[in-house]
Chain A
Amino acid sequence: MTTANGRFIEVKGLKKYFPVHRGFLDSLRSQSKYVKAIDDIDFFIKRGEILGLAGESGSGKTTTGEIMVRLQDPTAGDIFFDTINVADLQGRQLKEFRLRAQMIFQDPYETFSPRLTVFGSIVESLKVHRIGTSAEKVDRVKEALTRAELRPAENFLYRYPHELSGGQRQRVAIARAMVVDPQFIVADEPVSMLDVSIRAGVLNLLKRLRSDFGLTMLYVSHDLSTVTYLCDRQATMYLGKIVEVGPSKVMVKGAHHPYTKALFSAVPLPNPDAHRERTPIEGEITGNIDLPRGCRFNPRCPYAIDICFQEEPDLVESEPGHATACHVFPARAD
């Protein structure tokens, strides 16, 4: 069942603050400081949709992904998952939720125990959730491997992680996520460690899983070329805020936020004659403890005007489904 407006997942007012422990004297003098890794964000994902979360390191995209599958607890906010709020599920209900939401990580080398075979790693989730008899478990693991295009599955069951290539390992990770028949998958930089010729295969596999099983996905990456290729819609994060969200095909041609533009314009093109118009932004991403007043992008923004240093902009829709948090674009841009 899906909420009335077709939103399968709806996030409202999500926050994640980490306390910063500095010196002893500081702790006496003032109230605690926080790193605002995620600072009040809203977004939704429709059933069967792939949403991309793009941004540089420190933007909060990975933390958001991990909270979505409840690997981390939110500081505040609601996460409606098919009408139930999963933001503060505990105990047995949380365990049940984990059957429905799975995660694929960046580094296929680090997510497997070197002492477990492929079968051993994948069957673990079935054991934890007490699914199936021994024979059924074997069948389900084989089926998951087949879904991840590791065929014939028998050839992979009793291999160890070190016997597999990077691409094969990432496919085993996908099989491990698929074995519990999830409805939602968070994939955090799943192809950034893989070689080019292997990368396209894994991206296409994710696309196929979506169309074959109606999976809903959150794809987290700094690489706008893969985000744009894979995702129906994408959101740009900067220092814990979503600064722009819209359909990928619209954003790639006409992003509004200067930061999204800069991210797109920084992607090199496989064409020696391409002349990229670069958006001239300054410096590097700043820390998110002492945020600037007004728009948090203002120290790097070449277009900032007075109001940008006074008021934090809200996400405002400029056309259906495309919203930007910027005082200058698209509203006042000439």
Chain B
Amino acid sequence: MALLDVHDVEVTYRTKEGPLKAAEYVSFQLKKGDSLGLIGESGCGKSTMAKAILRLLPDNGQISGGEILFQEQDLAKLSPKEMRKLRWKELSLVTQSAMNSLNPVYTVGAQIVEAIRTHEAVSKRRAWERAENLFRLVNIEPSHLTNHPHELSGGMKQRAIIAMALCLNPSLVIADEPTTALDVIVQDRILQQIVRIQKEISSSLIYISHDISVIAETCDYVVVMYGGHVMETAPVREFFRHPSHPYSLGMQNAFPNLEDVDSELISIPGYPPDLLNLPPGCRFSPRCPFADSVCQEERPELHFIGTQHGTRCHFPDRAEAFRAQAKLPETWTERPAQGQRGVGA
């Protein structure tokens, strides 16, 4: 039984221009102790999915379909009060802006102790000891617990936030681009820690990022989103060895790789779709070099080409040919017919 089973989830935002479906037919599973990388570009629906799972969607957003089974209960149906009990205790979130969510007038330690004591009946002393252990876990000297947030460096603040997210031993941690605001070296160190701690406390992890290299190094499974749909899902090695969806192929071509500095990067022509004005068939069809008329008209299903490897493409059996052709720059040269306007992210 999966710890988390997201099934056909649909999230709709009310906007002035009409309803906007930020995610549709999104399904994936996550077992206890596993990590899953949710990859995609801005507007693909990855952060919306994080907010939907945590039930933290803004007022104009709602889960308009599907179910989110977590420990066998449907999070989409829980009352706000029931949900509050689960958040932090069972499900916690680390975001890129979380650094700034620390309260400037209290010490970091006081804030962690408060978080622990809100959810568990433990003494202040016991809670403080746990906070000290957490700081050791994220490699911060426990004496820093008596510091106010402004006394910590950016990297330390972000690690303190990770400590807070872990303070109640949650079953699932969702990390939404947790390192983007940090310098490269600090970023790398925090990444290593997230992976190490996740293994140590054997919680499950959903790591959300636009950076496929970060996902390659942190996660067991990959879910690729584009225009609100899951385009490909696979175990991480399978995804990098045998990417099958043309969008995944394009993304891998476009990504700079220090192991291979001689290859030219190939960009995907065109721009991501406007969510208010989505193409009727495959969401990637306007940019896909292999698209056929069926791609423009019909939404493809997620076809499974391996036990855990799915691709939302009308031509799952042509994946091998696509892989070969995708390596050639001329495959991706822009076709004149694409004048469609992208979304302003």
Contact = CB atoms under 8 A, between A and B. Distances in A.
Interface in A7-66: 56-57
Contacts of B49: none
Contacts of B267: 197-202, 204
Given A165-B342, A167-B342, A269 B266 contact: no
Contact of A284 (B154, B252, B343, B345): B154
Given A165-B343, A272-B236, A272-B237, A203 B210 contact: no
A267 B252 contact: no
Contacts of B154: 284
A168 B341 CA distance: 10
A265 B189 CA distance: 11
Interface in A75-98: none
A225 B257 contact: yes
Given A204-B267, A272-B236, A285-B183, A196 B255 contact: yes
A46 B60 CA distance: 55
Contacts of A198: 41, 267-268, 271
Nearest to A56: B183
Interface string A233-260: 0000000000000001100100000000
A270 B339 contact: no
Contact of B339 (A155, A229, A265): A155
Interface residues of B, number: 48
B261 A196 contact: no
A203 B252 CA distance: 16
A252 B240 CA distance: 23
Interface stretch (A116-124, A130-138, A273-281): A273-281
A264 interface: yes
Contacts of B8: none
Contacts of A291: none
Given A56-B185, A196-B251, A268-B213, A166 B344 contact: yes
Interface in B197-250: 210-214, 216-217, 236-237, 240, 250
A216 interface: no
B180 to A, nearest CB: 10
A272 B217 contact: yes
Contact of B256 (A57, A155, A195, A226): A226
A197 B213 contact: no
Chain A, interface SS category: helix
Could you say which interface size class chain A belongs to?
A: 35 or more
Interface string A208-229: 0000000000000011111011
B258 A228 contact: yes
A268 B254 CA distance: 15
Contacts of A265: 188
Contacts of B257: 225, 269-271
A163 B240 contact: no
Interface of A: 56-57, 155, 162-168, 195-204, 222-226, 228-229, 248-249, 252, 262-274, 278, 281, 284-285
Interface of B: 41-42, 153-155, 183-189, 191, 210-214, 216-217, 236-237, 240, 250-259, 261, 264-269, 271-272, 339, 341-345
Given A203-B256, A225-B258, A269-B216, 11 more contacts: A164-B342, A165-B345, A196-B254, A198-B268, A222-B184, A224-B258, A266-B189, A268-B216, A269-B258, A274-B217, A284-B154
10 residue pairs, one from A and one from B, having the closest CB atoms: A165-B342, A201-B267, A195-B41, A200-B267, A266-B188, A200-B265, A200-B254, A268-B213, A225-B256, A197-B268
